[in-house]
Amino acid sequence: MGVDPASNHFIMRILITGGAGFIGSHLAEACLRDGDEVTVLDDLSTGRMENLAAVRGHARFHFAQGSILDATVVERLVGGADLVYHLAAAVGVRLVVRTPLQTIITNVEGTQVVLENCAQHGRKVFLASTSEVYGKSRKAAFAESDELILGPTSVGRWAYACAKALDEFLAFGHAKERGLRFVAVRYFNTVGPRQVPEHGMVVPRFISQALKNEPVTVFGDGTQSRCFIHVHDAVTATRLLANNPDAEGEVVNVGDPRPVAILELARKVLRLTGSSSVVQHVDPKRVYDTDFEDMENRVPDIAKLKRLTGFSPEHSLDQAIQDAIAVLREGASR
């Protein structure tokens, strides 16, 4: 930790892996706003430098282009940090189904490299996991101690859930055997500006189709529901958990428990974009081949998050969609 000569306050040195991505870039901005020094490590596979446009010239911001699989780079950057947010991963159903092997290597080997170095240097790490680990559970709301019910190994999408679950096991293992301090967060669907449509995320995909006045393609009958949290809320929860000693060694859900049916989501996007598109129902198996299974509902139980941080989501889904539309509309006009 350094001292800011102007204010005499301690400056926390933060490393964000995957910081050029959707959530990571918002996290970088929030940390800088609060006076931290931020280094981003990103290989720009799905992340983009334009996500960091607002922070690139900042005196307390540093960018390293490289991979979490590169142990030498990770060793150096972790050694120079006080706190590590590990967000780098292969993300998005489309990407995961197309490249299951690379997904597993990045999400398991890469995480092992990060955790190993955090343990060695005695650095606390925030681990980004996912609600996907709950798999096919049919519970009304998912709590952290629930059973995980994954599908068969022949169905590619489960590689992502399984890899992320293994990441959590790795964190517990490092904690037990090497004294690693960590908090693992299971993000539920996070939405907002900078999320891109290319990797299969439903909200930017709908917005992008609507802005082009193309049919908005809903998988199945659209009665399946999801819960969406605004990325600004997700970032607030992330930082509260990472800085809370009581959350150490815990797995915590981060999401907004208000569900919306996917057909209703499509109609919302049409209304908020003012698009003349129509809704078209499609069979996801035709889009993803056989490597696809959809869950009916996925609602977070956020009692643990509330107990640890007092936080609950503040932004509405309409707000998140409107914020995402503004950025995607700007991109479309360039």
Active site residues: 160
| Structure tokens, 18 | 């995957």
Task: Give 86-150 as a DSSP string.
Answer: E-----SHHHHHH-HHHHHIIIIIIHHHHHHHHHHHT-EEEEEEEGGGGBT---SSB-TTSPPB-
Cα–Cα distance for residue pair 218/268, rounded to 1 Å = 13
85: which residues sit within 8 A by CB, 6+ positions away?
A: 14, 15, 16, 17, 19, 24, 27, 125, 126, 128, 238, 242
**What is the binding site for ligand NAD (CB under 6 A)?**
17-18, 20-24, 41-47, 67-69, 87-91, 106, 110, 128, 130, 187, 189-190
Distance CA 98, CA 278 (A): 28
Residue 81 beta carbon to ligand NAD: minimum distance, rounded to whole angstroms: 15
**CA 79 and chain centroid, separation:** 24
Task: Say if CB 92 and CB 160 are below 8 A apart.
Answer: no
Task: Give min distance, CB of 9 to ligand NAD, in A.
Answer: 29
Q: Look at residue 230 and give its three-state secondary structure.
A: strand
Question: Shortest gap between Cβ of 7 and ligand NAD (angstroms)?
Answer: 31
Q: 122: left (phi > 0), else alpha (psi -120 to 50), else beta?
A: left
| Min dist. Cβ of residue 45 to ligand NAD (A) | 4
Question: Nearer Cβ to ligand NAD, position 88 or 302?
Answer: 88
Backbone angles phi, psi at 195, to 5 degrees: -75, 135
Q: Among residues 103 and 277, whose Cβ is nearest to ligand NAD?
A: 103
Residue 254 or 266 with smaller CB distance to ligand NAD? 254
Least separation in angstroms between residue 187's CB and ligand NAD is 4
Phi-psi region of 127 (alpha: psi -120 to 50; beta: other; left: phi over 0): beta
Question: Smaller CB distance to ligand NAD: residue 189 or 208?
Answer: 189
